[in-house]
Structure 1
Amino acid sequence: MSPEIEPGSGNSDNNVSISSAIANVTSAKVDQYDIRIKALEQKLEKLEREKNKKCSPTTFLDTWDMASLIMEKARETALKVPNDSQCQTTCRPGKKGPEGSKGDIGSPGQNGATGRQGAKGEGGTPCNCSRYDELAHKVQILEQKARELQPLADGWYRVPSYPYWYKLVKVPSDYRTARKNCERMGGRLAATGIRNPTIRSDLLDKFIRRTETPIWIGLDDLGKRDNWKWSDRVSSTSSNTPWGKDEPDGPDQRCACMHNYLEYQIADVLCIYKYFYLCEK
């Protein structure tokens, strides 16, 4: 009777070739994602360079279209980049152990003794998922930067080094209408930046002075007479409100604007006047 032999693990040559193929495919995927991310980064850098230039509304829309495309591609890449657990499963497995020894020949009519267990196989190639993590991080940065370009499509301007966006609406409106329109756009009549000398100066130079008209801002005493409040609910004081000389000066003038006759210092005027207005968000 033939001796009982415990099956061993067999020849590992075929396993080595399969493992190498897996490793090659994994490496190629990483390189492919890396190339795509670099291309997206280059496009985004070009948009960043264009961001502070004087652009027409059409250019703003083109810019946002490109930013939206970058964001879409970034999300698509993020879905395809393997996570850490997926990375672990693609790493090359260890080699199988050698074939077990033959069992002893048993007595006639009986099975032979069980063969000895094969030796433990060699360890597989350690996984290195750092490149996947790096790609995922790049995708997050790309998506965030692309999203930040969205306000440009609507004509908003961001003061350099400050987290505020501004839009000058050149449609003559009374104070209450201007306030509601700013709120519809997710903002308010400008307040925080008007109190900041650096931001105020930048806005004046950028587009307010060239209008040569009064501009509504977010300041009024509609809640309580002579209790002036900014649209962000900060109380007006002599130190945070650049009033013009002798302003405020009218009991019925309960809304504030930056007035061209006062070199764009603040004046109180009737709320029914129709001026351009400055939104902030």
Structure 2
Amino acid sequence: MSEMLRHLVLVLLTYLSFLRLVHGHCCCDQDDTEQIIGPPGRPGKAGIKGSQGNAGEPGRDGRIGINGSKGEKGESGMCDCSELATSQKLMMFDLLTHRDWKWISYGSNIYGYQLFKEAKTYQQARAACEAVQATLACVGMRIPHVREQVKAVVRNSSGSTSIWIGLDDLERMNHYVWLDGVVSNRENTDWLPNQPDTAPERCVELVNYHNQNERLNDNICSKTFHYLCEKFY
């Protein structure tokens, strides 16, 4: 072979090697669909044990099965954003994070109570409860067996002897309405004897005197007391 021919062959081989290097990983044309092969699946079960051999010859185990194929991809999960699911998540968040609240079950709901030991007017206390997605205590002051548990929360807490709850007659004189819209009456409002009385006293406090057994009294709304918040699910 002449020197020139040898040189041409060498150039051709070099060019072919270059093409393989550039296009070696491309296994399909533009119109084809490239297949992606995943990793092998778990090994299959062992093969069936061989039958017993002739007398004097031990039997042999069967061959191990081939590896199993790759499993199918699971379906994507779905996020439950329903109102009930959201409420349950919020409830669990409060139960886990607001451990200083006293949680009481009543009916199908769970009520949380927290006594805040900050001196505020009635309107300030109301706004402070709303800021933590709660209200001044209503249900807990109205339903007898819940009320006794809530009173225990107050009784075991030191501080003010006067505590704002969610009851007033600010919309109409002598027409007391709980902040959740329930109208006050003698059955659902645990008043002190001879209460409510005077006109300037439009907002209601829980009187935390030991000799008064934590009952309700109307007082002047601009006075500053501790306050009891309530939230429920």
TM-score normalized by structure 1?
A: 0.49
Which letter does structure 1 place at the counterpart of 2:183? S
Distance in 2 (CA, whole Å) between partners of 1:158 and 1:185 is 15
- Is contact 2:154-2:208 (8 Å) kept? no
- Is contact 2:136-2:164 (8 Å) kept? yes
Highest Rg: 1 or 2? 2
Q: Deviations over 1:248-268 (max 9, x none)?
A: 011111000110233211000
Which letter does structure 2 place at the counterpart of 1:158? W
Distance in 2 (CA, whole Å) between partners of 1:244 and 1:174 is 21
Q: Which residue of 2 aligns with 1:77?
A: none
| 1:157 matched to 2:102 | yes
Distance in 2 (CA, whole Å) between partners of 1:143 and 1:232 is 22
Q: Report how far residue 222 of structure 1 moved.
A: 0.6
Which letter does structure 2 place at the counterpart of 1:247? Q
Q: Report how far residue 247 of structure 1 moved.
A: 0.5
Distance in 1 (CA, whole Å) between partners of 2:181 and 2:86 is 33
Q: Which residue of 2 aligns with 1:20?
A: 68
| 1:189 matched to 2:136 | yes
- Is contact 2:135-2:179 (8 Å) kept? yes
Counting strand residues as a fraction of each chain, which structure ranks higher? 2
Residues 21-170 of structure 1: pairs in structure 2 closer than 5 A: 21-23=69-71, 82-83=74-75, 147-152=90-95, 153-154=97-98, 155-161=100-106, 162-170=109-117
Which letter does structure 1 place at the counterpart of 2:91? E
Distance in 2 (CA, whole Å) between partners of 1:196 and 1:22 is 61
- Is contact 2:205-2:218 (8 Å) kept? yes
CA shift in 2, pair 1:244/1:19, >3 Å: farther
Which letter does structure 1 place at the counterpart of 2:68? S
Q: Which residue of 2 aligns with 1:271?
A: 221
Instruction: State the aligned residue count.
Output: 158
SS in 2 for 1:224: coil
Report the RMSD for the aligned CA atoms in angstroms. 3.3
CA shift in 2, pair 1:224/1:21, >3 Å: same
Q: Report how far residue 225 of structure 1 moved.
A: 0.6
Q: Report how far residue 151 of structure 1 moved.
A: 1.9
Q: Which residue of 2 aligns with 1:254?
A: 202
The answer for unaligned runs of 5 or more in structure 2 is 1-43, 45-64
Distance in 2 (CA, whole Å) between partners of 1:247 and 1:20 is 82
The answer for unaligned runs of 5 or more in structure 1 is 1-15, 27-81, 87-131
- Of 113, 125, 148, the match for 1:201: 148
Distance in 1 (CA, whole Å) between partners of 2:150 and 2:216 is 14
Which letter does structure 2 place at the counterpart of 1:236? S
CA shift in 2, pair 1:144/1:234, >3 Å: closer
CA shift in 2, pair 1:144/1:174, >3 Å: closer
Q: Report how far residue 21 of structure 1 moved.
A: 3.1
- Is contact 2:155-2:208 (8 Å) kept? no
Distance in 1 (CA, whole Å) between partners of 2:162 and 2:173 is 22
Q: Which residue of 2 aligns with 1:215?
A: 163
- Is contact 1:214-1:275 (8 Å) kept? yes
Distance in 1 (CA, whole Å) between partners of 2:86 and 2:69 is 33
TM-score normalized by structure 2?
A: 0.58
Distance in 1 (CA, whole Å) between partners of 2:91 and 2:158 is 28
Which letter does structure 2 place at the counterpart of 1:217? I
Q: Deviations over 1:124-152 (max 9, x none)?
A: xxxxxxxx99xx99xxxx99866433224
- Is contact 1:158-1:164 (8 Å) kept? yes
Counting helix residues as a fraction of each chain, which structure ranks higher? 1
Q: Report how far residue 197 of structure 1 moved.
A: 1.1
Distance in 1 (CA, whole Å) between partners of 2:112 and 2:208 is 22
CA shift in 2, pair 1:18/1:274, >3 Å: farther
CA shift in 2, pair 1:18/1:180, >3 Å: farther
| 1:240 matched to 2:188 | yes
